Amino acid sequence: MKNVSKIIGIVGAAVLLGGVMAYLAGFFETKIAVDSRNVELSTPPGRVMIVEITAEPLIEQAAGTVRAKVETVLSPLITATISSVAVRSGDGVKKGDVLVRLDSRELDARVDQAHQAVIVAEATLVRVEKEFERVQRIYKADPGAISKAELDRSQAALRTAQAELLRARRLEDEAKTGLSHSVLIAPISGRVVERYSDPGDTARQGQALLRMYDPASLRLEAAVRESVASRLQKGQRLAVRIDALDKEFLAVVDEIVPSADPGSRSFLVKVSLTDSSGLYPGMFGRLLIPIGQTEKIFIPVDAVIRVGQLDYVMVKTERGPVRRYVRLGAPAAVKRVEVISGLYAGEQILF
């Protein structure tokens, strides 16, 4: 008997708990019938719009990176201590501007030595020329006074002096060229990206000191799948969207690398940007390639009613206005939004 009472108590507690949960879930409340996700409304909105299907271009998006077509790295041809660096990262420069100066004291000394050697060679040549003219004049006046061998020796000395002067001048040019390597100038007009060294550092031959690029040569390099890349042509105009700037730029196909990546089956497509304002190398962008047309439905943003995480619109029916659930896509221009499902062409919405 005691066991039966215990069982009855457990069953009663379970029934009571179930009743409380059903009440909290709204089981005992009056339900409103919903037909095709429509909810009848008593107060109709003011404006009416007929749903239409719009033919929109189908766009293929290819992710890419902004890079500079003209980019250069400045490095010295000699090893020397850096005396000064005139620019920093982000500075704009013009072609021919002095960017880096190296310690040139040793090179100045070499130029001076070479110049002194030229002066000595010039003086020697003047002396030998006069000697040759004297010997030649005597030989012509009296061939017996001077032998032919002596005339030949004088002529050989003249040629040697001429060669020594030419050699000295070449060494002077070489020394001046070495001195010119102590000054690094901008080979292009552009902007400095990186500065790798400071005054006092030792610049070694071939070591990068500055990296710069031409902002007017920026372009987007994107990997385009092979079925789409085959439709592109050099000179074709496309659009490029830069997400960071929330802006689209006009671009022209500049180069299609004639080799596909075997891993991704894509071609590298490079497009020149007609306007590079606000752009920097390394920025992420999307190449927008039209590949056809698709049918879409767009409605005004004002027509959408948001309840929690759900979106509804007012649809005019024979029974009056009803609220219907719709699934929305990406926002469009002019305060419109795409409707993926929930509406059909010819229906009327109220807002």
Q: What is the pLDDT of residue 103?
A: 92
* CA 144, 145, 150, 152 torsion-angle sign: negative
Residue 24 CB neighbours (<10 A):
9
Contact 37, 342 (CB under 8 A): yes
Contact 339, 329 (CB under 8 A): yes
Query: Which residue in this structure is represented by tokens 């982000």?
Result: 90
| DSSP letters spanning 192-238 | EEEE---TTSEEPTT---EEEE-GGGEEEEEEEEHHHHTT--TT-EE
Contact 195, 210 (CB under 8 A): yes
Instruction: Please state whether 26 falls in left (phi above 0), alpha (psi between -120 and 50) or beta.
Output: left
130-142: pLDDT as tens digits: 988 888 888 887 7
Which of 76, 88, 95, 72 is closest to 183 using CA atoms?
A: 76
Q: Measure CA of the first residue to CA of the last residue in the chain; give whole Å.
A: 69
Going by the DSSP 8-state scheme, the letter that residue 43 receives in this structure is S
216-259: pLDDT as tens digits: 899 999 999 998 988 899 999 999 999 999 899 999 999 999 88
Q: Distance (Å, rounded) from C-alpha 170 to C-alpha 176?
A: 10
pLDDT higher than 80, residue 210: yes
| 175 confidence band (pLDDT: 50, 70, 90) | very high
Q: Distance (Å, rounded) from C-alpha 213 to C-alpha 249?
A: 20
Can you read off the two tokens belonging to residue 121?
A: 């060679």
| 9 confidence band (pLDDT: 50, 70, 90) | low
Residue 231 CB neighbours (<10 A):
12
77-87: pLDDT as tens digits: 989 999 999 99
71-110: pLDDT as tens digits: 999 999 989 999 999 999 989 999 999 999 999 999 999 9
Contact 328, 338 (CB under 8 A): yes
Maximum Cα interatomic distance, the chain, rounded to a whole number of Å: 165
Residue 164 CB neighbours (<10 A):
18
Single-letter residue type at 296: K
SS3 92: strand
Can you read off the two tokens belonging to residue 293?
A: 């047309």
Q: What is the pLDDT of residue 43?
A: 45
Task: Let me know if 312 is exposed, middle or buried by CB neighbors in 10 A (0-12, 13-18, 19+).
Answer: buried
